[in-house]
Amino acid sequence: MKRINQMEPWYGEEEKRAMAEYLDSGGWLTEFKKTREFEQMIAAYTGSCYTSVVTNGTVSLMIALWALGIGRGDEVIVPDYTMIASANAVVLVGAEPVLVDIDASTLCLDLAMTENAITPRTRAIMFVSINGRSPDMNQVVALAHKHNLYLVEDAAQSLGSRYQGKHLGTFGDIGSFSFSAPKIITTGQGGALVTDDEKLFSKIWRIKDFGRSNGGIDYYEMMGLNAKFTDLQAVIGIEQMKKLEWRVKRKKEMYKLYRDLLKDIEHLRFIDTNLEDCSPWFIDILLEGSERRNRLIHFLDLRGIGTRLFYPAIHTQPPYSNIKGDFRNSETTSERGLWLPSSLFLTDENIEVICKEITCFFQR
């Protein structure tokens, strides 16, 4: 059997054809009409008024914070279990991330602990909908409103996931997505900001283009950077967006198949997932401890099946090791979690083989 990696991007003839057509048309490669078309597709899909695409999902989080005026002296609440970019973006704009433990049932911020962590310096909550899951988003919004805080949604993993039918990333002041290679759609690298606030959008637009509002005119109204996209990426992104609805459906089917095939293994557990709303980006499981997890990884690796460890808890990483607190859920999650092969091109037969090997491991 050919090796199955934990995750691979997927593109095909449609992307190749669209790229050839674009290059034949003599486009300027940098962001222009194709980028606007890609942005409109994202806005329409997520149901947001404005979308701006940028270089990646880390930069989009930085721009979101920057546009909200968050910087030196400000605190932003960030979950202790997330991809490190959520916390890094806060540091990179000069603010301070305040790490808060997660709720073990959703792997998202614990809202009671979030409220306890609010201080007079807190300006925003960065809510991360990890793997497309969320708690009651009305409560998240209410908490931010109650304390007069901005809500930035890091929805990097949530394209295609909703809460009660409303797309994740659209509950807060600004939502952020990523199109890095393993995401449900990819442009190689890439990120998007979504908002319903015209003023914020206009700031985002200027920040990503050196601080000017018009690409052709060299007048710089504010500080900015170059975080522009390219039409080359947009050409791929447009074709990937056309496949998104099918991909969302397939991710759900894959998750369900894994869950059904592994349901009788008592040492392995799935997180409660409402597949009506959530389209899990990665197939995630929790094991009883890191020792057994390591043996399973090795066992599968020998059989040509790739897996990936969950992210480390942020406070265990060198740039954040001075942060102390009660992080028991993020620590346990990070020690027990494993991502199984999740590429969209996996067939049901592939998944059956993977699950058979996992079952075999636990029966030994």
Ligand X SMILES: Cc1ncc(COP(=O)(O)O)c(C=O)c1O
Q: Which residues are catalytic?
A: 183
Residue written as tokens 């911020």? 109
Instruction: For ligand X, give the closer residue by CB, 83 or 99.
Output: 83
Residue of 87, 68, 26, 74 lying closest to 317 (CA atoms): 87
Residue of 309, 249, 285, 279 lying closest to 358 (CA atoms): 285
Shortest Å distance, C-beta 275 to ligand X: 20
User: Could you tell me how far CA 249 lies from the centroid of its own chain?
Assistant: 18
Contact 255, 281 (CB under 8 A): no
Helices first, then strands: H and E counts in the chain: 12, 13
Which residues make beta-bridge pairs with 126?
Answer: 152
Instruction: For ligand X, give the closer residue by CB, 152 or 248.
Output: 152
Contact 42, 195 (CB under 8 A): no
Shortest Å distance, C-beta 197 to ligand X: 21
Q: Report the alpha-carbon distance of residue 364 to residue 359 in Å, rounded.
A: 9
Which positions lie near ligand X, rule CB under 6 A? 56-58, 82-83, 85-86, 128, 154, 156-157, 178, 180, 191
Instruction: For ligand X, give the closer residue by CB, 90 or 353.
Output: 90
Q: Report the alpha-carbon distance of residue 306 to residue 296 in Å, rounded.
A: 11
Shortest Å distance, C-beta 37 to ligand X: 21
Shortest Å distance, C-beta 82 to ligand X: 5
